[in-house]
Structure 1
Amino acid sequence: MENLFAAFETTSPEQWKARLEKDLKGVTFEQLSRTDANNFIIYPFYTREDLAAGSSALFRHTDWSIMQHIIVEDAGAANTLALAQLNDGVSGLAFQLSGPADLSVLLEGVELPYITVVFEAAADDTSFADRLRAYLDTAYPGQTDLNVYINTTSPDQQPVNRTLSINATGYNNRGANSVTELAAIACNLNEQLHRLSATGDLQATVRKVYISLATDTLFYEQLSKLRALRVIVHTLLQSYDITPDVYIHAVTSHIYRSHIDMHSNMLRDTLSAMAAVAGGADAVTVYPYDYAVRTPSGFSLRMAKNIQLLLREEAYLHHIADVSAGSYYIETLTRQLAEGAWTLFRELEQQGGWTAVQAGLDRLITEQADQLILSYKEGKKVLIGANKYKNNMETEIPSFRPGFPAPHHINIAQALS
């Protein structure tokens, strides 16, 4: 078959730059470049020459679990809401527990083999993992393939259902850049693998690795961040000579969630969710737009679900695996994030690993958060409704609900208030 492109001359990057400067009347390629929060130079365009050899799709799944976040204060009421949400189209549940909950009540009628369920236990509920193990052993004896996970930040947590779990949502919500976030995840995972390797057969102990992290509105960076995460995790797992499945759960970030003109949060959440799906998340939680100010309403829960249904049923994002594979920019940014995070991870390990670097990691994240907030206060970055394009028709601005933002988390709208 004739090559349709053979009749066209190839254009080199230098020719593109010369044409750019001519059309923009002297504005240069370098002047259009910028430096992002990761200290990467973002160029105005990328070409085939920027691609690394052997670039290919990083994941093969196409669909994802549509999660609904449910705050559990009463197990019975939460169960009723969970069943209603499942009937309305969600395929997973993310329970945020405010205290010890009776799992037999909370999960009554919930068929765990067919959905994804994530639990975020209360900080002082130290026995939750044991209770969950006991429940699963009784209700689903011998079933080790359930998609049931615990969101935990501690590497001390013993595997539940042969799954290592990392709750990394706090890094983005504290203001960490993506390189630091990915390096911290690698450090946490390495700590867990190192401890377990000393006690027995890792391949037999670890069936799956579950990682939850937050995505924000920097679409291309967040998409690339999830792709880079798979590269880093698989590289680390290979060093231990094990091949567990990797399950990534993305949640929409709270860092840009605003109490001002709060319906605009739906736009931010749509962008964050789309980045998560295109980046290869296995499950996505979109927080209700009013999550920052009150117990979510029925309408806000429905909109949180519908955002994902639109991405699936209208945008058809569930038809193609790794849709951005081969993009010159995305592939370059994925490689930069993976390499930058791996370099920082090795530095953290040389300093003593997870436990030893916590204080230094906290200082680094605080510095990055301060720089992020300053960029909004100086007007270099825009949060619509907060520091630009304010809704003058909004006469009563609600307050943040108690507990939001979480301790050590930052919120741009709050910082600008």
Structure 2
Amino acid sequence: MSDFLFNEFDTVSAKQWKQKIQVDLKGADYNDTLIWQSLEGINVKPFYHNDDQKADYSTIPGQPLNWNIAQQIFIDDEKIANRLTLDSLERGAEAIIFSSAEEFDPKVVFKGCSPKKTKIYFQFTFLSEAFILRLKQFFKNPAWEIYYNIDLIGNLTRTGNWFFNLKKDHEILDSLLQKLPKERFISVDASLYQNAGANMVQQLAYALAHANEYLNHFEEVSEENLKITFQLSVGSNYFFEIAKIRALRKLYAALASEYTKKQECSILAIPSKRNKTIYDYNVNMLRTTTECMSAVLGGANTISNLAYDVLYHKSNEFGERISRNQLLILKAESYFETAGNPADGTYYIEALTDELAEKALSLFKDIEANGGFLKQLKEGTIQRKIKESASREQKLFDSGEIKLLGTNFHPNQQDHMKENLDLYPFVKTNPRKTLIEPIIERRLAEKTEQERLKTE
């Protein structure tokens, strides 16, 4: 559109907008009526204006111009995993996230896969230097893009224990970085914090402090050889989640620059489980769609969706196909691939990005001033803070201020689920000896769902 068309209209200042709003409120208080506070303590205004801009908005470091659709596959039977991989790639997946609890034969799992068309992410619940060296020998073609996603601290936070012990775990990772310096080994799994109930400021600060432990330990590793991948869970607070991903990139760039390391990181985003439900389960598709949209607009490199029935059904072809098709529709039919960084310069999202980053940086500095992330994990401080945040959010859900359609808002009392549960959808207790208290994922709807199941 030509610039001269805009010259026909007078500019309207932020002050003029506020005066107009005050008139329309007819005496009601502007702050009490229109400004609300998020769980992170951010006061959200009814409008954002260029007049409030302190300086020109800076480019987000490492913001990608495109994104990849990922499919999650658990390797139990190698031949089945291979069949699922080929089928997923044929049906539109561009990356595969492989989970495994034990070693496997890569020749069987990756038979027929093309290295030029597929990103590979691994999520192992074990640590074996010999096996990873074996994988690298298989993936010797440089066309493969492999993310090994080794997260020693992530395993500690999730299970309460190291894989072996602190010394041996770090020796294995040190050895791998020395033998294979160009590989993408290090991961920070921040998805656990969101799924356990941490607010966004905590998620960002803990992710940054988590990453800082690796940057500090591997300070001597060269810039080009230290590549970190963040895994994030994305919730349903649409604009805040967009801002969260952008804020993480800004924060990591600032932290990495202090170590003279590469300021760009890779982000793998997956919808949160915290707000998912077993009742009225089709609503989960609506939740994951907006969450994937936030991940795209926020600038995730790779996005993997959750199946609508992931809580109570074993992995199945229909659920996985629907979840993948949601991403394909966003990419191919909703034009979410055509604009690079569309959130840049939007006053509201830019303001949220800065506020989240500033609050998270303040919390990060407090963590470091009190001994660092590992020390606070061992003392139980991080776990306590997440529990406090989760408890506040749970109270809002229990009171109805946080609404989950079909669960605590407009529930369908004729909806019965007792006979449909292939998987146990609630927190499982597994008493064991641990070094620290593990951080436990917990959904908001669990108590409500358990009470309903008892009365079916």
SS state at 1:356 partner? helix
Q: 1:67 to 1:322 in 2, by over 3 A?
A: same
The correspondence for 1:221, drawn from 210, 217, 240, is 240
**Which residue number in structure 2 is paired with residue 152 of structure 1?**
151
Cα distance in 1 between the residues matched to 2:133 and 2:425: 29
**Which residue number in structure 1 is paired with residue 47 of structure 2?**
45
Runs of 5+ in structure 1 lacking a partner? Answer: none
SS state at 2:325 partner? helix
**Which residue number in structure 2 is paired with residue 416 of structure 1?**
448
Alignment of 1:121-132 (within 5 A): 121-122=124-125, 125-127=126-128, 130-132=130-132
SS state at 1:114 partner? coil
**Which residue number in structure 2 is paired with residue 279 of structure 1?**
298
Q: 1:88 to 1:151 in 2, by over 3 A?
A: farther
Q: Note if 1:236 corresponds to 2:237.
A: no
Alignment of 1:9-408 (within 5 A): 9-30=10-31, 31-58=33-60, 59-122=62-125, 125-127=126-128, 130-136=130-136, 138-141=137-140, 143=142, 146-150=145-149, 152=151, 154=153, 156=170, 157-158=173-174, 159=177, 161-197=183-219, 200-206=220-226, 208-243=227-262, 245-358=264-377, 359-397=380-418, 398-399=420-421, 401-402=423-424, 405=427, 408=440
SS state at 1:357 partner? helix
Q: 1:251 to 1:151 in 2, by over 3 A?
A: farther
Cα distance in 2 between the residues matched to 1:416 and 1:393: 15
Cα distance in 2 between the residues matched to 1:52 and 1:141: 49
Q: TM-score by structure 1 length?
A: 0.92
Cα distance in 1 between the residues matched to 2:144 and 2:76: 28
Deviations 1:153-173 (A, max 9, x none): 527445571442111110100
Identity of aligned residues (%): 27
Cα distance in 1 between the residues matched to 2:87 and 2:109: 13
SS state at 1:394 partner? coil
Does structure 1 conserve the Cα–Cα contact (< 8 Å) formed by 2:240 and 2:352?
A: yes
Cα distance in 2 between the residues matched to 1:150 and 1:234: 20
Shift of 1:6: 3.6
Deviations 1:234-271 (A, max 9, x none): 11111111226411000011001111111110000001
Question: Alpha carbon RMSD of aligned pairs, Å?
Answer: 2.2
Q: 1:356 to 1:304 in 2, by over 3 A?
A: same
Shift of 1:323: 0.5
Q: 1:230 to 1:52 in 2, by over 3 A?
A: farther
Cα distance in 2 between the residues matched to 1:93 and 1:369: 31
Does structure 1 conserve the Cα–Cα contact (< 8 Å) formed by 2:312 and 2:425?
A: no
User: Which one-letter code corresponds to 2:201 in the other structure?
Assistant: V
Q: 1:361 to 1:342 in 2, by over 3 A?
A: same
Q: 1:373 to 1:60 in 2, by over 3 A?
A: closer
**How many equivalent residue pairs?**
410
Cα distance in 2 between the residues matched to 1:382 and 1:280: 27
Does structure 2 conserve the Cα–Cα contact (< 8 Å) formed by 1:69 and 1:96?
A: yes
Does structure 1 conserve the Cα–Cα contact (< 8 Å) formed by 2:148 and 2:184?
A: no
Cα distance in 2 between the residues matched to 1:153 and 1:297: 31
Shift of 1:22: 2.4
SS state at 1:5 partner? helix
Does structure 2 conserve the Cα–Cα contact (< 8 Å) formed by 1:153 and 1:168?
A: no
Q: 1:104 to 1:145 in 2, by over 3 A?
A: closer
Q: TM-score by structure 2 length?
A: 0.84
Cα distance in 1 between the residues matched to 2:332 and 2:54: 34
User: Which one-letter code corresponds to 1:15 in the other structure?
Assistant: Q
Does structure 2 conserve the Cα–Cα contact (< 8 Å) formed by 1:144 and 1:162?
A: no
